[in-house]
Amino acid sequence: MTINKTDFGQNFIWGTAQASYQTEGAWNIDGKSPSSWDTFSQKKGKIERNENGNTATDFYHRYEEDLNFLKSMNFKHFRFSLSWPRILPNGTGEINPKGVQFYHKVIDKCLELGLTPWVTIYHWDHPQTLENKGGWTNRKMVDWFSEYTEFVSKEYGSKVKNWMILNEPLTFTIMGYMLGEMAPGKKGINNFRKAVHHANLCQAKGGRIVRKNVTNANIGTTQFTSYIEAHTTKDTKAAERMDALINRLFIEPSLGMGYPESKLFFLKSMKKVMLPGDIEKMKFDFDFIGLQYYFRTVIKKSAFMPYVWAKEVPPIKRGAIANQMNGEVYPEGFYQLMKRFSDYPSIKKVIITENGSCFTDILKDGKVTDNERIEYFKSHLNQVIRAKNEGMKVDGYFVWSLTDNFEWDKGFRPRFGLVYVDYKNNLNRHIKDSGIWFKNLLK
């Protein structure tokens, strides 16, 4: 399975991605206040092995080292997120100069190394002070988020032209406000309904603010996706409901299509939290949509799962190949989702803003042989080539992730990085064979 850089076209974007809470550490220094994830991860039993991101991979102090790794692998683009409580410790109002300066240093180091910075404004870590007021369940979040976006787009907009508004709003709303398995740990359909609607409003409002403040901005937002298939023909309607929840809930409102309530009937109740004019307010003409794909989900109907009346048939029960987090390795699903997003007439461009996988990596004599990950990348990049050859509007690919990091509720066990982080030995870094593979591909 041979892949050449030329297969993707001359202007194809190659980068890696990461997020503030998962990598930065420095959780309570230089004026930063606690985030919703700081609070959640320090509650006993919320994270595997009771781990937290207090230190994470210490990107805050080691960003130059990590960016040099990125440069050495011949990538040209770096996607990272801003920590809201590092910049605005109270969520609104007073600015924290040391936090603001940290991101200037990261951006300037990127530019010095010839790397193009791509900023994600929100990757799940809002200030705890705002969560105390309801967080995403409070419609005032639109105002709070607008103030934050106004500041960062003006502050960094002269140096950063590529912006993503939200990272995977589906994940932080369903896991954080419906199921309670991620920060802030709230549960219930009422919390979920409010969080979804306010995130959709912020997604579009943030886009309008960046458009106003940043000359020649390239503006997108990122969506979690999974290729949904029915387990049997009897499960078709259940799969359609799950697909509406996972793949349509945030993209279609941004395109002016409203909520997919014809497939997911409980969305009719979104009217309870909507105000006149909200359908138009959720719409924004993004320059690109960030598609994030990891695995396929096979669905069967279930009388025990309210609202969607559907549940997953895990890969292990189907004899399918899965990664360290039990996500099925299924490249064909990647192609199908690129096709689907490209088929929306209003989507101008698709960029793969996250793709990667976690496997059991073993460090031995300073080397990490991760052939499973290399095969994962080969199989998925071949689907990108297939999509481009068929004329789909896919213009870039960001690996998740540059280094191993804190993988949310799973802690440090799953490893996604091209660079191994030795958590037992001073967080020392070692480039994996997959990183060397990309280095050779992109030279």
Tens digit of each residue's pLDDT (9 = 90 or more) over 229-276: 999 999 999 999 999 999 999 999 999 999 999 999 999 999 999 999
Give the per-residue pLDDT at 54.
98
pLDDT at 412 over 70: yes
User: Residue 294 sits in which domain range?
Assistant: 5-442
pLDDT of 136 strictly over 70: yes
What is the reported pLDDT for 382? 98
What CATH number should be reported for the domain holding residue 215?
3.20.20.80
Separation CA 376–CA 310 (nearest Å): 28
DSSP code of 40? H
- Residue 60 has φ and ψ, to the nearest 5°, of -55, -40
Asked if pLDDT for residue 353 goes beyond 80, the answer is yes
Q: Give the pLDDT confidence of 8-30 residue by residue, as tens digits.
A: 999 999 999 999 999 999 999 99
Kind of pairing between the strands at 13-17 and 394-400: parallel
Q: Is 263 exposed, middle or buried (0-12, 13-18, 19+ CB in 10 A)?
A: middle
- Per the structure, how many domains does the chain have? 1
Model confidence pLDDT, tens digit, residues 364-411: 999 999 999 999 999 999 999 999 999 999 999 999 999 999 999 999
What's the whole-number mean pLDDT along residues 67-87?
Answer: 99
Length of the chain: 443
Which residue in 352, 340, 353, 341 sits closest to 384, CA to CA? 352
CA distance 174 to 423: 30
Residue 305 has pLDDT above 80, yes or no: yes
Q: Which burial class, exposed, middle or buried, applies to 28 when counting CB atoms under 10 A from its CB (0-12, 13-18, 19+)? A: exposed
Can you give the pTM of this predicted structure? Answer: 0.98
Average pLDDT over residues 207-216: 98
pLDDT band at 97 (very low <50, low <70, confident <90, very high): very high
Region 267-291 average pLDDT: 97
- Does the structure show a pLDDT above 80 at 1? no
| Residue in the structure block whose two tokens are 């700081």 | 38
145 has pLDDT over 90: yes
Residue 2: its pLDDT value, please?
86
Residues 6+ apart with CB under 8 A from 418: 16, 69, 73, 399, 401, 402, 403, 431, 432, 434, 435, 438
Task: Let me know: does 416 contact 357? Beta carbons within 8 Å.
Answer: yes
The fraction of the chain above a pLDDT of 70, given in percent, is 100
Q: In which region does residue 359 sit, left (phi positive, over 0), alpha (psi from -120 to 50) or beta (all else)?
A: beta
The arithmetic mean of pLDDT across residues 92-102, rounded, is 98
pLDDT tens figures, 190-203: 999 999 999 999 99
Mean pLDDT value across residues 314-342: 97
Catalytic residue set:
168, 354
Q: What is the mean pLDDT of residues 295-321?
A: 97
Q: To the nearest whole number, what is the mean pLDDT of the chain?
A: 98
Percent over 90 (pLDDT), the chain: 100
